Structure 1
Amino acid sequence: MTRVVVADDQPVVRLGFAAMIDAAPDLTVVGSAADGLELLALVADQAPDVAVVDVRMPHLDGIAATARICARHPATKVLILTTFDLDEYVYDALQAGASGFLLKDIPAARLVEGVRMVAEGSMLLGPNVTRRLVGDFSARASAPAPVPGLDTLTAREHEVLLAVARGLSNAEVGAELFITEQTVKSHVSEVLRKLERRDRVQLVIAAYESGLML
């Protein structure tokens, strides 16, 4: 059972999202918060697998709360939900450590699937948030930056990293490299460990930061 918390300053929205998620047989909502400070306390108390977080909240906004969660509770993945499809929110959310970014107007089924994907470590960007934004974010640096651990990857792990950076799913990576999906998962886990990254989104950023995707 995947444990989830929901944070949004609007009660109706917060309760609605919680109800949608809690209705899924494999997900359970263990708490909700009305602002960023409440969210931090809730995550510390409940240790959820996923935190569904609104960007604009009082006392501490969703981006700042995400940064603190990712620093203090690395086992908790963050899925950002917002009504604002603006580039700077995507950049800031990814830089803070968020694992996904969706707009609030998505169907309930998409929200539930998004929580599942983030819990499993998949990259999740909404249909209006393209992977190009990740590249643009990382390209803000004046020059490629060294990524610790990159030189320790095997040839196969390097191939998997490049495929993940292109946004391919495990099944798609397996089909392209002629290996099983389970083998892909093992390689991804090893790349995450070697590069000391928390999830696939951070692997994409690492690939761009290092200049591999330029």
Structure 2
Amino acid sequence: MTRRERVPGGEERPGDMTAIRVLLVDDQELIRRGLRKMLEIEDGIEVAGEAADGEEALRVAGECRPDVALVDARMPRMEGVELIRRLSAGHPGVAAIVLSTFDEDDYIFGALGGGAVGYLLKDCTPEELVDAIRRAGRGETVLAPSVAGRLVAELRRTGAVPRALPHEGRLSARESDVARLIAAGATNREIAAQLRIAEGTVKNHVSSLLRKYGTPDRTRLALHLKDTGDRNPQSPGP
């Protein structure tokens, strides 16, 4: 996460780094305590809040304004997939990562389709989890290797990446720039640096691109842009 600074011409650019604020969502207090102790010693990461289920997480998210949410898949009252859908709708700036013992397709595809930026299993190492939080805070997608393999296999099997969508010719010039860099694999931070705008501005453009292309998450957007080669649509406009 960054502070915003003005540059000549009125545009924003990334400023000094601040801590990535993390919300822990797990119905097991022991898990939450362990995650908190592990993350509290990491530079640049701050545990902003905790919740024991999805309903509590929605309330806490509005209070603590996290950058990243670590979400368990199975919880009482509201499970992880539904929570991620609601976070995406009500708190689009929160990057949700599922951290679960379950790698079932319903959870994986439900979470990613609902807007999650990552899916990790609880057998990952502390180093892998910390790295995933930092990457998610930069706007990257983070997947356990087994999950990534299943996602690619599913996309190939179903042909879920669309080849022609109705809004492709209606991007602004800046959205076209961001789309081109997403297709090239650039992170939000790299896009912000290259275009000399703030990461928050990049996130807004990414959200707009997801809506216009009709894709549920950044991974499928990047796959579509790369697959079709349509990274600089014509007829720019608002």
By the TM > 0.5 criterion, same fold? Answer: yes
Q: Say yes or no: does 1:212 pair with 2:228.
A: yes
Query: Partner of 1:59: helix, strand, or coil?
Result: coil
| Per-residue deviation, residues 141-200 of structure 1 (Å, max 9, x unmatched) | 596451635653778655534333xxxx55xxx9xxxxx9942897x9396265156xxx
Q: 1:86 aligns with which of 92, 104, 123?
A: 104
Partner Cα separation in structure 2 for residue 42 and residue 78 of structure 1: 14
1:34 maps onto 2:49 in alignment = no
Q: Secondary structure at the match of 1:128?
A: helix
Deviations 1:53-90 (A, max 9, x none): 00000000011011111100111111111111222222
In 2: Cα distance, 1:34 partner to 1:116 partner: 23
**Pair 1:99 & 2:112 matched:** no
Q: TM-score, normalised by structure 1?
A: 0.76
Q: Structure 2 vs 1, CA of residues 157 and 14 (structure 1 numbering), >3 Å: closer, same or farther?
A: closer
1:88 and 1:208 map into 2 onto residues whose CA distance is: 21
| SS of structure 2 residue aligned to 1:28 | strand
Structure 2 unmatched runs, 5+: 1-18, 230-238
Which residue number corresponds to residue 217 of structure 2? 202
Tell me if 1:162 matches 2:183.
yes
Q: Note the 1:112-127 alignment, pairs <5 A.
A: 112-127=130-145
8 Å CA contact 1:50–1:78 kept in 2: the answer is yes
In structure 1, list runs of 5 or more residues that go unmatched.
175-179
Contact 2:117 2:218 in 1 (8 A): no
Runs of 4+ in 1 over 6 A off after TM superposition: 153-156
CA drift at 1:50: 0.9
**Counterpart contact for 2:73–2:80, Cα < 8 Å:** yes
Instruction: Determine the structure 1 residue equivalent to 2:6.
Output: none
TM-score (norm 2): 0.69
Aligned to 1:133: 151
CA distance in 2, matches of 1:61, 1:196: 24
Q: Residue 192 of structure 1 aligns with which residue? A: 206
Of 11-20 and 99-108, the range deviating more from structure 2 = 11-20
- The corresponding residue for 2:194 is 183
Conserved? CA contact 1:66–1:98, under 8 Å:
yes
* Residue identity (%): 31
Task: Output the CA distance in 1 between the equivalents of 2:87 and 2:72.
Answer: 14
Residue 64 of structure 1 aligns with which residue? 82
Q: Tell me, in whole angstroms, the C-alpha distance in 2 between the residues paired with 1:57 and 1:33.
A: 10
Structure 1 or 2, whichever has the larger Rg, is 2
What are the superposed Cα offsets for residues 15-62 of structure 1, whole Å, 9 maximum, x if unpaired? 111221222121111211111111111101111111110000000001
In the alignment of these two chains, the number of paired residues is 198
Distance apart, 1:9 and its partner CA: 0.8
> 103-112 vs 139-148, which deviates more?
139-148
2: CA distance between counterparts of 1:126 and 1:80?
A: 10
